[in-house]
Structure 1
Amino acid sequence: MTSSPPTGVFVPVPTFFKPASASNSLQPQVDVDTQVKHSIHLAKNGIRGLVLLGSTGEAIHMSKQERFDLVSGVRKGLNDAGYPDYPIMAGVLINSVDEVLEWLQDFKKAGVQWGLVLAPGYFGAAANQENIREWYTVVADHSPIPILIYNYPGVTNNVMVTPETYNILAQHPNIVGCKMSHGNVSYHVQVSLDPEIDHNKFRVFSGFGQQLGPIVFFGAAGVIDGLAAMYPKTVSRLMNLSEKRPIEPKVHEEIQALQYAVSTAEEYIGKWGIVGIKEGVYRVLGMGTLEGGRLPLKGKLPDGSDKSRPYYGARIVLTCETRSPPNAI
Structure 2
Amino acid sequence: MPTIFEGAGVALITPFLEDGSVNYKKLEELIEEQISEGTDAIISCGTTGEVSTLTHDEQLTVIKETIKIVDKRVPVIAGTGSNCTKTAVMLSKKAQSYGADGLLIVSPYYNKATQGGLIAHYTKIAENVDIPILLYNIPGRAGIALAPETIAYLVKNVKNIVGVKEAGGDISVTAKIFRLCRDTVIDVYSGNDDQNVAIMALGGKGAISVLSNIAPKKTSIMCHEAIDGNIKEAARLQLEALDVINNLFIEVNPIPVKAAMNLLGKEVGKLRLPLTYMEKEHLSILEESMKEYGLL
For residues 125 and 182 of structure 2, what CA distance do their matches in structure 1 show? 22
For residues 2 and 164 of structure 2, what CA distance do their matches in structure 1 show? 14
The answer (yes or no) to whether the contact 2:79–2:105 under 8 Å persists in 1 is yes
1:307 corresponds in structure 2 to 284
The answer (yes or no) to whether the contact 1:188–1:206 under 8 Å persists in 2 is no
1:318 corresponds in structure 2 to 294
The runs of 5 or more residues in structure 2 that have no matched partner are none
Aligned to 1:270, the other structure's residue is in SS state coil
1:269 aligns with 2:255: no
Aligned to 1:271, the other structure's residue is in SS state coil
Aligned with residue 166 of structure 2, among 180, 186, 194 = 180
Larger radius of gyration: 1
| TM-score (structure 1 length as normaliser) | 0.83
CA-to-partner distance for each residue in 1:139-178, whole Å, 9 max, x for gaps?
Answer: 2122243211111112212x11111111111111110111
CA-to-partner distance for each residue in 1:179-199, whole Å, 9 max, x for gaps?
Answer: 111211112122234454533
1:237 corresponds in structure 2 to 221
Distance 1:195 1:109, change over 3 A: closer
For residues 313 and 218 of structure 1, what CA distance do their matches in structure 2 show? 29
1:98 corresponds in structure 2 to 86
1:87 aligns with 2:75: yes
Runs of 4+ in structure 1 off by over 4 angstroms are none
Aligned-residue Cα RMSD (Å) equals: 2.0
Distance 1:60 1:306, change over 3 A: closer
For residues 64 and 197 of structure 1, what CA distance do their matches in structure 2 show? 39
2:135 corresponds in structure 1 to 149
- Count of residues paired in the alignment: 294
For residues 186 and 269 of structure 1, what CA distance do their matches in structure 2 show? 23
For residues 28 and 183 of structure 2, what CA distance do their matches in structure 1 show? 36
The answer (yes or no) to whether the contact 2:96–2:129 under 8 Å persists in 1 is no
Distance 1:65 1:130, change over 3 A: closer
Identity of aligned residues (%): 22
The residue type paired with residue 131 of structure 2 is I
The answer (yes or no) to whether the contact 2:43–2:78 under 8 Å persists in 1 is yes
CA-to-partner distance for each residue in 1:79-104, whole Å, 9 max, x for gaps?
Answer: 2xxxx252111112312221111101
The runs of 5 or more residues in structure 1 that have no matched partner are 21-27, 323-329
Aligned with residue 27 of structure 2, among 13, 23, 35 = 35
1:45 aligns with 2:37: yes
Deviation at 1:210, TM superposition (A): 0.7
Aligned to 2:146, the other structure's residue is in SS state coil
CA-to-partner distance for each residue in 1:181-231, whole Å, 9 max, x for gaps?
Answer: 1211112122234454533xx310121111011111110111111111111
The residue type paired with residue 166 of structure 1 is I
